Chains A and B, each alone.
Chain A
Amino acid sequence: AQSVTQPDIHITVSEGASLELRCNYSYGATPYLFWYVQSPGQGLQLLLKYFSGDTLVQGIKGFEAEFKRSQSSFNLRKPSVHWSDAAEYFCAVGPFTGGGNKLTFGTGTQLKVEL
């Protein structure tokens, strides 16, 4: 069965500092990986996704993620965090079919940004 682990429930960083959110996955086939961000009471916004090709993926809002097959990881990074980045971040894995994505989510990492 597929699963996603986000080891860090909460992370606090200072504004301007770098950020790395960890994500490890278990998937029986080639994984399709996603990072989403959710603000309180809101839906999910797609930050970036990885299907194949270059293992370093660029996303919106200055985020990037690196797929490492040997470590079954897909960590999210940002060089300099802004106060507006404070939110809940979810890593997800699933198959990609023509009909869409049936995703399994990690438990999320709550990011707090100190000014």
Chain B
Amino acid sequence: GAVVSQHPSWVICKSGTSVKIECRSLDFQATTMFWYRQFPKQSLMLMATSNEGSKATYEQGVEKDKFLINHASLTLSTLTVTSAHPEDSSFYICSAEQYFGPGTRLTVT
């Protein structure tokens, strides 16, 4: 079946730094990808819709200047958490079609 990968699988960064997370569709093209956030023992919350070649669409309450999304090709979307703070620590998961990536665990110290 279709596969979606994410890199890195986990990352630790210091407060104030930026972190980039990659999401790739490995065997299909995706004009649209989705970024979700999941807090421990909670459900997934949609953050934004990543559109190839155009601006991302953010859900209400999600800071677009903090969570930068770039969808430069039909197989790659990136999420950059800028000026990260401890409250940004979370599990970030991307999806394409109905397939989800393995997630990226971000810890901000």
Contact = CB atoms under 8 A, between A and B. Distances in A.
Interface of A: 34, 36, 41-46, 49, 90, 97-108
* In the A-B complex, the 7 residue pairs with the closest CB atoms: A99-B32, A43-B102, A44-B100, A100-B32, A43-B103, A105-B43, A105-B44
B85 interface: no
A10 to B, nearest CB: 11
A63 to B, nearest CB: 15
12 contacts: A34-B98, A41-B103, A43-B93, A43-B100, A44-B44, A45-B100, A100-B34, A101-B95, A102-B49, A104-B46, A105-B44, A105-B45
B79 interface: no
Contact of A100 (B43, B93, B95): B95
The majority secondary structure among interface residues of chain B is strand
Nearest to B102: A43
Interface string B32-46: 111000000011111
Contact of B102 (A36, A42, A101, A108): A42
A90 B99 CA distance: 14
A114 to B, nearest CB: 21
Nearest to A104: B46
B42 A49 contact: no
Interface in B40-67: 42-46, 49, 51
Contacts of B81: none
A98 B32 CA distance: 9
Nearest to A49: B98
B97 A101 contact: yes
Contacts of A101: 34, 95, 97-98
B45 to A, nearest CB: 8
A90 B43 contact: yes
A102 B105 contact: no
B93 A107 contact: no
B34 A102 contact: yes
A41 B105 contact: yes
A107 B43 contact: yes
A46 B44 contact: no
